[in-house]
A and B are shown apart, each in its own frame.
Chain A
Amino acid sequence: MDRLNQIARRVPVNAVYLAGVLPFLWIVWLAFSGGLGVDPVKAIELRLGELGLQFLVAGLFITPLRWAGLNLMRFRRAIGLLAFFYVGMHLLTWVILDMGLRWEEMAADLVKRWYIIIGMIGFLAMVPLAITSNNAAIRRLGAAAWQRLHRLTYVAALAGAIHYVVLVKAWPVEPLIYLGVICLLIGARLWRNRRHSAPQVV
């Protein structure tokens, strides 16, 4: 574990940003070279959404990994901002490529369709997180308030996974796996907090 921590300390944070945008560039390349099959719009939308979820899950893993002795805290901001980037691009894909800027239909969907509403809640929950993902915001808010605010991550991740489960037909396994893993990661925190705050019996 010490070796892993040593290696992690030597990885510059910018390398995480760089590696994080590679999948995006790959999708752009595939989109323009015809590598996304006959329905590129859906493929782009799905891949961006899944990447957003994957970065959200990766962000949720940082804390439990630290319990286990592996400290990747330095990378958490980059991972969170990458999650926001992918979720934002996923939303833009829906607005521009999928819905073709049909504002009236989108507005109707935003009040009627549960998966759209839940997805939008997830995105909106990430906006204050992205805005406050800098040192100045942490100073201004104070660490405690900043930490409380950033519990919105749980809302975003849950909303993202539920959005995925609700939009598919029937019950394919992938969306359920995301939801299951996110529930486990949040559940682990609840379980640990309760254990740690319980009165100690001497």
Chain B
Amino acid sequence: RIDAAPSVFSTDETPNTFEEITTYNNFYEFGTGKEDPARNAGALTTDPWSIVIDGLVDRPGTYDLADVMKDQPLEERIYRFRCVEAWSMVIPWIGFELAGLLNRVGVQPSAKYVAFETLVRPEEMPGQRQPILEWPYREGLRLDEAMNPLTILATGLYGEEMPKQNGAPIRLVVPWKYGFKSIKSVVRISLVADQPQTTWNMLQPSEYGFFSNVNPQVDHPRWSQASERRIGAGLFAGRQDTLMFNGYEEQVASLYAGMDLVANY
């Protein structure tokens, strides 16, 4: 078991089971079906693994995973996870704050955004043999979002190493945003001056904004975001109300003070 300290940011809601978390995934690199990642991710090589950290940083370079994690305190973060498809889970991640890594590599003052990329390796990631999305999968955060203590790089869950279908060996988790922002199997982190391109926004800009904060008042053009189905709640459990910023309003609302959240969806 991985040693990880408890966190004040953890919810006391009951986490979903390991089986639920690891057999119901959106990870299009391994197929578009929810069961595809669990079925197809086994062949992914996660060791060795390195991350390119570049752009507007003092110490750019190719960092080995162990080096990326060096001296970063691991915590268990039990977070709500809300998918843009209106389902949700509660997941006991293990990870460290992204801010810790960014501070270590030295963010230059001109950096305003952080851009992330997922591994491209079609021979191990069968979904990438089709142009379903434009590979590599890309995501991005504004620098203040990246520096928020809720934002973590997760390397495990339920006390174990990150399962491959969940984004092994290291992935982003941004709990107040829709799940697709939490990019998996990260191989590149770039500090940049301008808002980076992000995969779902490139595919369908009217439906998937750069911010994609969980917001029950701003509907997806094709479906309501007012409520969600909690996975594992049972056949007749119905739905629960979706919370503003997925329930993390207290920690993140100030990031968006004065911003029009309908225009900046």
Do the beta carbons of A41 and B229 come within 8 Å of each other?
A: yes
- Residues 75-117 of chain A, each 1 if its beta carbon lies under 8 Å from chain B, else 0: 0000000000000000000001111111001001100111100
Q: Known contacts A37-B35, A38-B19, A170-B133: does B227 contact A114 (CB below 8 Å)? A: no
Closest chain B residue to A97, Cβ basis: B235
Q: How far is the CA of A102 from the CA of B28 in the complex (A)?
A: 31
Give every chain B residue within 8 A of A114 (Cβ-Cβ): 222
B219 within 8 A of A: yes
Q: How many chain B residues have a CB neighbour from A under 8 Å?
A: 29
Give every chain A residue within 8 A of B17 (Cβ-Cβ): 38
B85 within 8 A of A: yes
B203 within 8 A of A: yes
- Residues 38-76 of chain A, each 1 if its beta carbon lies under 8 Å from chain B, else 0: 111110000000000000000000000000000000000
Chain A interface size band reads 20 to 34
Q: How far is the CA of A166 from the CA of B32 in the complex (A)?
A: 16
A172 within 8 A of B: yes
Q: How far is the CA of A99 from the CA of B35 in the complex (A)?
A: 23
Q: Known contacts A99-B239, A170-B132: does B224 contact A39 (CB below 8 Å)? A: no
Do the beta carbons of B85 and A105 come within 8 Å of each other?
A: no
- Residues 110-136 of chain A, each 1 if its beta carbon lies under 8 Å from chain B, else 0: 001111000000000000000000000
Q: Known contacts A37-B23, A105-B227, A109-B224: does B237 contact A171 (CB below 8 Å)? A: no
Q: Known contacts A102-B238, A170-B203, A171-B132: does B20 contact A38 (CB below 8 Å)? A: yes
Closest chain A residue to B219, Cβ basis: A112
B226 within 8 A of A: yes
Q: Known contacts A97-B235, A112-B219, A171-B132: does B226 contact A39 (CB below 8 Å)? A: no
CB distance from A86 to the nearest CB of B (A): 18
Closest chain B residue to A115, Cβ basis: B222
B223 within 8 A of A: yes
Q: How far is the CA of A172 from the CA of B235 in the complex (A)?
A: 27
- Residues 131-144 of chain B, each 1 if its beta carbon lies under 8 Å from chain A, else 0: 01100000000000
Known: A39-B87, A102-B238. 11 other contacts (CB 8 A): A37-B35, A38-B20, A38-B23, A39-B229, A98-B229, A99-B239, A100-B239, A113-B223, A170-B28, A171-B132, A172-B32
Please give the residue numbers on chain A whose beta carbons come within 8 Å of chain B beta carbons, in ascending order.
31, 37-42, 96-102, 105, 108-109, 112-115, 166-167, 169-172
Please give the residue numbers on chain B whose beta carbons come within 8 Å of chain A beta carbons, in ascending order.
16-17, 19-20, 23-24, 28, 32, 34-35, 85, 87, 132-133, 203, 219, 222-224, 226-227, 229, 231-232, 235-239
Q: Which 10 A-B pairs have the closest CB atoms?
A: A100-B238, A38-B20, A100-B239, A38-B24, A172-B32, A170-B132, A39-B231, A105-B224, A38-B231, A38-B23
